[in-house]
Amino acid sequence: MSRRGTSLIQVLAAVVIMSVLSAGVFQAVVNLVKEREFSAKNPTIQEDARQMANLLAGAFRRSSLCTSSDSGCTLNSAVSSFSASGVTIYTRPSSTLVQTAYGITNGSFTKTVGGTSTTLYTDASLNITYYSSNSYNATSMTATAPGSLSGPNLVAVKIQATITRSGFVGTYSTIVRLRNSPKRL
């Protein structure tokens, strides 16, 4: 007598095989969705980090030295105050010296001129390393902690800007030599 049909063991084996195959296909779809989200969001985040660093680098490049004819500033310095997450830079858009502050406030990169703050980038962090020199024609520069730095000795800065959104991180770094520094490098 021959039996026709499938046994319980055969049905269970088929269910297990189909479950494993379905889980594999599901995982592949999930990974594809994550990769697509990453490739859509990350270039924008990276570009924002680059623009933030370059904006601050441009401000350092365009900085002006405080001269003896100016008041309320550090003589022969292009910066007023500095920390690892912010800086106040002197600029001279006309005949008057203006202080412009750039920094992180509540996770946002802001620019403050004359008491008016403007948020430029959100979900941002900033790390600024200051380099100084004690001689006029220096052959090297030294990374200096912001608390022990003298404005006239500042010769260069390293800017690391980071933007973090939805778990994606974009970072950009650049080093800028102050064009208007009283020190030469």
In a domain, 98, yes or no: yes
Number of domains in the chain: 1
Question: Is residue 6 domain-resident?
Answer: no
Task: Give me the residue label for tokens 């297990």.
Answer: 16
d(CA 56, CA 177): 12
The token pair at 172 is 């950009």
Q: What is the SS3 assignment for 73?
A: coil
pLDDT attached to residue 71: 84
Residue 139, domain member (yes or no): yes
pTM value is 0.73
Residues of the chain with pLDDT under 50: 185
Would you say residue 26 lies in a domain? no
Whether residue 10 lies inside any domain: the answer is no
Closest Cα to residue 128, out of 162, 151, 105? 162
Q: Which of 80, 160, 83 is nearest to 125 (CA)?
A: 160
Residue 32 lies in a domain: no
- Residue 67 has a pLDDT of 85
Q: Assess if residue 170 is contained within a domain.
A: yes
What is the residue range of 165's domain?
Answer: 41-177
> Cβ(162)–Cβ(173) under 8 Å?
no
pLDDT of residue 185: 46
Strands (E), the chain: 79-83, 86-91, 98-105, 108-113, 116-121, 124-132, 142-144, 154-165, 168-177
Strand partners for 127 = 160
| 19 belongs to a structural domain | no
| pLDDT tens-digit series, residues 72-107 | 888 888 888 888 999 999 988 888 899 999 999 999
